[in-house]
A and B are shown apart, each in its own frame.
Chain A
């Protein structure tokens, strides 16, 4: 299995590298990867369907228990079939799709050949990541591939990087699925830690439970909902339709968006009874199924209609897999396969029409010529399968779902969910009918532009390569509709992979006049009524839209949230990052002192002695006075002298503390510093003119007082803490060893040159570096006549470029 994943990686990278030369033929090369996968699957699937599974493992970070565990079991076979089967057909279709066509107006065909190559390579990489998702048995492995599909999806949606709509849609998709992915990771880690293993096969045998697991499951579900475009995270999926049709057909209907459903299907047998799992999945799935269907019925763009239909069907799958009831999950497996077949067909047909006629808006589509009969027949069959018309594949899945809920829905709320399924299925029938009517040109505007009518009539029917993949899928839809028993083995193996105790199933063409069949008739009847009364339905929808517009939709909320975050971030940046050094320093010192202060203050218990010796009072009094004076005086020389005074008083303090070495050093250095200072000051003006400060004096004083208070508390707490330390004191060891080992009487000196000699070495290095810097700064300053631009001049220069950048931005159309 690693070989297959590596093959996808190699083929994808190679195509991207060679993109410009291959052009649209890149997709023919890309087809090799899914073809190889299918061949491998054919070789292995026999054993797997008999109940075995193929395992591959690679210890990654064994100390953390991280391993890349891949397992091909029954359900994985079904998923790999979809991923690689649809992938192969889409690649062939794309070769024709990216050829030049009559109706080309569309903005979704990349203009440069490089764009097409990149698309093909990226799609191969995506296919590899998706295979990883469905083969992974280790939760962390699954997460990594999951994120890779999000990233490749982002790159595919935003492939046309000159189109701002594509960029915006890609950004929304990655934000929603990426944030969901982070939440998912948290959930997976909670579950893995609680269960003691990250292997799904082991969790299935012994599922953990408890409060933490409940929280983890909610996180996992949020991740799955974002990925599978469930309400309220569904808005990114219709937005993603800006991508070229092959991408939409592959990622955003057949494979990637099913990753969330896949994860729910895997985990439901273990956790459906735990915590709020079932309530959450069934509520969200029901809402998504109804809202998606309702909105699909409103679309005029065929592709958007399909996108909302996909949202609805994903909700349906959640309702089937999320229950954790094996007989309902069976229907889910069938629906997953049926959906992949009919939805990919429908997307391909939209792409064909879009290219030939130049529009996919139902109001501008009119009767197509007689050469279009085959394509129209495919559309009719696929839409019929989606609607659940008998004798087609979709009917088998819908019948199974109804039957499962009728006979095995023994949990709370199953009757309500069944009602939702029936209602939403009526909507599904209605929007499927709308799609067909659109393709047949019935919905074309009555007062149409004659040019539109002529364009539809004269449109060239697709060639065999363009139409072929959709025909293949249509044949499968009819075939499995008529002989669903052919799938028994696969559905059986899938269900027993999910639920090890599942019974053998048989799929029927028709199970007789059961309750499920009655409901099917209700659905079809209701759908026909809605279709016939479509004008009335449309007016009801318009009225409904007027009401729902008052409530912020998920799209609008998302945009508001995004924009708000951006605005706040920029305002904060403009405030704290305004270029003023004093403000930067204020923020830094406040963070470094005041924030830890909150922690220190709690440890402060009692004060030590007030004064050690009366001499300190005089010394500290003088020091504080001089320091205050240094900060108040407005003449440089006075400030320098005050600093010197503090230094000399410090030397006095060192003497009283028993540190003559320090006193001597301080005395020497203070003298040297003052001399240096005066040397520099002799050039500068004596005082300074008052300028408007960047931050006002009260703020400066406030920050300073806060820092002082923090240091005060820190000094007391720290000295208190040190007295509590037990054990031998390092200093005593040094005093004892100074003479015998260091051969010196002055302990401080021995420490500096001997015990901590490397510190002194570092200190000397610092001095050398500072000296080199100081000398070079002083020497380069000798070029007196060269005077650089002032600050105002520099800023003016920036404003000039800003103006031109503005103009350039306005020239960009759109």
Chain B
């Protein structure tokens, strides 16, 4: 692991997060792709560093790159592709329904947030009744 590669992973995560926070599904997909690449760098560099391809007979095994992180990264690449493909399908569906790919606010949560003032009033009414019950005067 070098400082440069750590920086590369950080930059991919940062830009990926920025895109993840957008409202467009297509940008969110790009963000997830970037974060996937960033985590692959992290996985790969968790090994012992650069080396020769770990193929028996091609070189001395002590010069090999660490094969285990490579296997993990390979799995990660494929899974990221699976997730991306699913998100593409979601984007396609979103376009079918609304002709756009905006991720809207959650209706239930917005509704609850709007009701807060009303709930606060209700709570105060209950508390006032409570006081009445205790104070005879």
A residues with CB within 8 A of B:
164-165, 167-169, 172, 235, 238-239, 242, 298-301, 304, 545, 555-556, 559, 562-563, 566-567, 570-571, 573-574, 577-582, 585-586, 589, 607-613, 616-617, 620, 623-624, 627-628, 630-631, 636, 639-640, 642-643, 646-647, 650, 653-654, 656-662, 665-666, 669, 672-673, 676-677, 679-681, 683-685, 688, 691, 693-695, 700-701, 703-705, 707-709, 711-712, 714-716, 718-719, 722, 729-731, 734-736, 738-739, 744-748, 751-752, 756, 759-760, 763, 766-767, 770-771, 773-775, 777-778, 780-782, 784, 787-788, 790-791, 794-795, 798, 802, 806, 809
Contacts and interface: CB of A to CB of B under 8 A. Distances in A.
Nearest to A590: B17
Nearest to B123: A566
Interface of B: 1-24, 26-27, 29-31, 33-34, 37-38, 40-42, 44-58, 61, 64-68, 70-71, 73-75, 77-79, 81-86, 88-93, 95-98, 100-116, 118-120, 122-124, 126-127, 129-137
A773 B44 contact: no
A777 B93 contact: yes
A784 B93 CA distance: 11
Given A616-B5, A712-B10, 6 more contacts: A567-B123, A586-B21, A612-B50, A680-B92, A735-B64, A787-B98
Interface centre among B1, B24, B31, B49 (most CB of A within 10 A): B1
A709 B134 CA distance: 55
A190 to B, nearest CB: 33
A715 B20 CA distance: 21
A748 B70 contact: yes
Contacts of A607: 3
A756 B54 contact: no
A573 B136 contact: no
Given A165-B132, A581-B103, A763-B79, A620 B4 contact: yes
Contact of B112 (A167, A574, A611, A650): A574
B134 to A, nearest CB: 5
A751 B78 CA distance: 16
A559 B130 contact: yes
A630 B79 contact: no
B75 A759 contact: yes
Contact of A716 (B6, B98, B100, B113): B6
Contacts of A771: 82, 85
Contact of B2 (A612, A640, A679): A612
B108 to A, nearest CB: 8
Contacts of A585: 20-21
Contact of A748 (B20, B67, B79): B67
28 contacts: A167-B126, A238-B133, A239-B130, A545-B137, A559-B127, A574-B116, A580-B106, A616-B2, A623-B37, A624-B12, A646-B33, A650-B41, A658-B50, A661-B53, A684-B101, A703-B17, A704-B14, A711-B13, A715-B1, A715-B42, A731-B66, A744-B56, A747-B54, A760-B75, A767-B82, A771-B82, A780-B93, A806-B118
Which 3 A-B pairs give the minimum distances between C-beta atoms?
Answer: A708-B14, A658-B65, A719-B1
Given A545-B137, A770-B82, A669 B77 contact: yes
A32 B23 CA distance: 67
B10 A168 contact: no
Contacts of A731: 47-48, 66-68
B105 A164 contact: no
By secondary structure, the A interface counts as helix
B40 A650 contact: yes
Nearest to A809: B122
B105 A579 contact: yes
A612 B49 contact: yes
Given A612-B4, A683-B92, A691-B23, A707 B97 contact: no
A573 B14 contact: no
Contacts of B78: 665, 669, 763, 767
B85 A164 contact: no
Given A657-B50, A703-B17, A778 B30 contact: no
Contacts of A654: 44, 73
Contacts, number: 377
Given A681-B26, A708-B11, A169 B6 contact: no
A97 B107 CA distance: 51
A610 B10 contact: no
A802 B77 contact: no
A168 B2 contact: no
A235 B136 CA distance: 13
A643 B77 contact: no
Contact of B37 (A172, A299, A647, A709): A647
B44 A609 contact: no
A393 B10 CA distance: 81
B19 A579 contact: no
B82 A711 contact: no
Contacts of B116: 570-571, 573-574
A793 to B, nearest CB: 10
A679 B88 CA distance: 9
B12 A669 contact: no
Contacts of A788: 97
Contact of A684 (B19, B26, B74, B129): B26
A301 to B, nearest CB: 6
B104 A573 contact: no
A680 B91 contact: yes
Contacts of A703: 17-18, 21
A594 B90 CA distance: 30
Contacts of B66: 731
B79 to A, nearest CB: 6
Contact of A735 (B44, B61, B107, B110): B61
Nearest to A672: B81
Interface centre among A628, A677, A695 (most CB of B within 10 A): A677
Contact of A581 (B5, B57, B106): B106
B88 A653 contact: no
A242 B130 CA distance: 11
A787 B124 CA distance: 43
B6 A715 contact: yes
A628 B108 CA distance: 35
Given A694-B23, A731-B47, A802 B115 contact: yes
Contact of A739 (B33, B42, B56): B56
Nearest to B22: A582
B130 A573 contact: no
Contacts of B130: 165, 168-169, 172, 239, 555, 559
Contacts of A640: 26, 30
A242 B122 CA distance: 21
A659 B70 contact: yes
B14 to A, nearest CB: 3
B83 to A, nearest CB: 7
A680 B88 contact: yes
Contacts of B110: 578-579, 795
A444 B70 CA distance: 92
Contact of B17 (A164, A683, A704, A746): A704
A172 to B, nearest CB: 6
B36 to A, nearest CB: 9
A719 B83 CA distance: 28
Given A712-B6, A745-B56, A802 B137 contact: no
Contacts of B41: 650, 653
Given A683-B95, A704-B21, A718-B46, A730 B68 contact: yes
Nearest to B128: A559
Contacts of A579: 105-110, 113
B128 to A, nearest CB: 8
Contacts of B123: 563, 566-567, 570
Contacts of B137: 298, 545
Contacts of A736: 61
A707 B10 CA distance: 8
Given A577-B109, A585-B20, A608-B3, A770 B83 contact: yes
Given A579-B113, A774-B88, A610 B21 contact: no
